[in-house]
């Protein structure tokens, strides 16, 4: 299958590419891939573990190998032999120039960037270029996944409400109201390519693009990969619920380095991330305990994100107790296999005639579109059931 990655030179993206090619070559085993669990037996008939990658980025690097090497030298997040083993494959992947329209001040941290808008193109010309790039790569087995830097929340606008209005916005070149992630999502859905949003950016989640997905009968899913502290939080919080213990306070303090951390250290870019993290406790518990969620940039950690959590909970006889945990994850290692999983499940969905928001893929996301289920245990049951019914249907 083919995966077109928005943000193809990022650490999650290049780790997914290296991992995907290494899997194909049998250099690594399948640990970390949800789609390879026994409950999803048979998925390889719809979405084999053979990958071709392409994508958009705004950093003018030579190819995905150079990008992967840059990340590897900073993070050493996997065995160097793996990267050497897929070097030739990654050297062939050269990203097309993308757009960073309304991507916020955090984008300045990326260093030198080259964008379509700097060529003085209109919105309609930008969309045409994105579509042309995707089209020249895509076939009937292609999925688009957004793994680009997090954008700020978009400016609220009527243009996002219906497909007609969204297309008017493009026609009238109203750049102020469009963000890059919306334009990529629009292009993908317009071309009939399934779309997954691994970031908290708007992407396909605005009503206009949901309408387009239904009209064009394309499956899509998002938002924001659930990989670290939120994964632990939404797996652990149900325990308190099941034992009828009350959580009175939950503090989460996240520190991380690398580019993602740098971009998120900008207030506007961070806002969308904190919002997507805060909602989960209320959804799991049915009430909203006092909570603090902080994300701070900590350069020396590079891609090793650390989350400190403090939970204050109340049990029988009103007694308050405390629980602390520290999650020391390597962001790209927990995220990369999910990029491959989401792409495989979306292609499976497409082949089974599923379209619109695929709520059943909520298991993979922090803010699942059109679903209030954030309890990881429930989400996993929903995913298994959805797959079982479709694969046998
Ligand atoms: N565990 C995780 O790492 C995790 C979990 C959930 C969500 N995410 C999200 O995944 C995204 C990528 O994370 P990362 O650590 O790989 O970041 P990164 O900074 O290493 O990679 C981002 C890449 O996107 C490119 N880019 C930025 N804006 C772009 C645009 N408008 N169009 C095309 N390319 C663009 C950058 O040049 C860079 O190569 C972030 O939005 C992050 O919040 C990551």
For residue 336, which of 235, 227, 257, 195 has the smallest C-alpha distance?
227
Cα distance between residue 189 and residue 209, in whole Å: 8
CA of 260 to the centre of ligand 1 (A): 6
What the block records as the tokens of 251 is 């503090």
Q: Is the pLDDT of residue 276 over 80?
A: no
Q: What local confidence, expressed as pLDDT, does residue 320 receive?
A: 98
Query: Any idea what DSSP says for residue 269?
Result: H
Q: What local confidence, expressed as pLDDT, does residue 110 receive?
A: 85
pLDDT in tens, 50-65: 999 999 999 999 999 9
Q: Is the CB of 9 under 6 A from ligand 1?
A: yes
For residue 207, which of 144, 160, 147 has the smallest C-alpha distance?
160
Respond yes or no on whether the N-terminal peptide bond of residue 165 is cis (omega within 30° of 0). no
pLDDT in tens, 207-264: 999 999 999 999 999 999 999 888 999 999 999 999 999 999 999 998 987 766 676 6
Q: What is the mean pLDDT of residues 149-166?
A: 95
Q: What local confidence, expressed as pLDDT, does residue 272 receive?
A: 61
pLDDT in tens, 306-323: 999 999 999 999 999 999
Q: Is the pLDDT of residue 374 over 60?
A: yes
Average pLDDT, the chain: 94
Q: What local confidence, expressed as pLDDT, does residue 132 receive?
A: 98
Q: What is the mean pLDDT of residues 124-148?
A: 98
Nearest protein CA to atom 15 of ligand 1, as residue: 260
Q: What is the mean pLDDT of residues 31-47?
A: 98
Cα distance between residue 127 and residue 49, in whole Å: 31
Q: Is the CB of 260 under 6 A from ligand 1?
A: yes
Q: Is the pLDDT of residue 93 over 70?
A: yes
Q: What local confidence, expressed as pLDDT, does residue 268 receive?
A: 66
Q: What local confidence, expressed as pLDDT, does residue 334 receive?
A: 96
CA of 57 to the centre of ligand 1 (A): 10
pLDDT in tens, 96-113: 999 999 998 878 788 899
pLDDT in tens, 65-81: 999 999 999 989 999 99
Nearest protein CA to atom 1 of ligand 1, as residue: 331
Q: Is the CB of 130 under 6 A from ligand 1?
A: no
Given pLDDT bands bounded at 50, 70 and 90, which one contains residue 86? very high
CB 149 within 8 A of CB 260: yes
Please report, for residues 260, 324, 388, the alpha-carbon distance to residue 231 in angstroms, rounded to integers and kept in the order given: 18, 15, 24
Q: Which one of 260, 274, 341 would you pick to mutate in the ligand 1 pocket, going by the greatest count of ligand atoms within 8 A of its CB?
A: 260
Cα distance between residue 247 and residue 256, in whole Å: 26
Q: How many CB atoms lie within 10 A of CB 69?
A: 17
Cα distance between residue 121 and residue 177, in whole Å: 16
| Domains along the sequence of the chain with CATH | 2-225+333-392 (3.40.50.720), 229-329 (3.30.360.10)
CB 141 within 8 A of CB 193: no
pLDDT in tens, 280-295: 899 999 999 999 988 8
CA of 340 to the centre of ligand 1 (A): 15
Q: Is the CB of 12 under 6 A from ligand 1?
A: yes
- What's the whole-model pTM score? 0.94
């Amino acid at each position: 299958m083919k995966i077109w990655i928005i943000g193809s030179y990022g650490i999650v993206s290049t780790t997914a590419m290296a991992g995907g090619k290494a899997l194909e070559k049998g250099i690594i085993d399948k640990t970390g891939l949800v789609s390879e669990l026994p409950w999803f037996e048979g998925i390889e008939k719809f979405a084999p573990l053979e990958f071709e990658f392409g994508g958009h980025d705004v950093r003018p690097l030579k190819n995905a190998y150079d990008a992967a090497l840059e990340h590897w030298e900073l993070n050493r997040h996997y065995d160097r032999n793996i990267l050497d083993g897929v070097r030739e494959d990654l050297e062939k992947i050269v990203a097309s120039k993308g757009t960073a329209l309304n991507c916020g001040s955090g984008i300045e941290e990326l260093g030198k960037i080259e964008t379509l808008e700097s060529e003085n193109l209109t919105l309609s010309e930008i969309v045409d270029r994105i579509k042309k790039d995707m089209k020249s790569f895509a076939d009937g087995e292609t999925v688009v996944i957004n793994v680009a830097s997090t954008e700020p929340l978009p400016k609220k606008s009527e243009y996002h409400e219906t497909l007609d209005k969204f297309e008017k916005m493009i026609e009238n070149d109203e750049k102020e109201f469009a963000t890059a992630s919306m334009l990529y999502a629009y292009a993908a859905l317009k071309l009939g390519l399934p779309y997954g949003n691994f970031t908290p950016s708007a992407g396909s989640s605005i009503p206009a693009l949901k309408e387009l997905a239904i009209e064009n009968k394309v499956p899509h899913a998002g938002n924001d990969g659930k990989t670290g502290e939120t994964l632990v939080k939404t797996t652990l919080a149900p325990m308190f619920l099941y034992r009828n213990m009350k959580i009175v306070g939950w503090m989460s303090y996240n520190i991380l380095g690398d580019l993602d951390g740098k971009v998120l250290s900008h207030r506007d870019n961070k806002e969308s991330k904190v919002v997507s993290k805060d909602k989960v406790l209320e959804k799991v518990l049915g009430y909203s305990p006092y909570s603090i969620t902080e994300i701070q940039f900590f350069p020396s950690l590079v891609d090793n994100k650390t989350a400190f959590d403090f939970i204050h909970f109340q049990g029988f006889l009103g007694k308050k107790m405390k629980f602390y945990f520290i999650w020391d994850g390597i962001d790209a290692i927990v995220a990369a296999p999910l990029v491959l999983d989401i792409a495989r499940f979306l292609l499976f969905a497409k082949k089974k005639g599923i379209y619109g928001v695929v709520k059943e893929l909520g298991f993979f996301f922090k803010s699942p579109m059109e679903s209030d289920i954030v309890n990881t245990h429930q989400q996993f049951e929903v995913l298994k059931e959805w797959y079982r019914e479709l694969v046998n249907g």
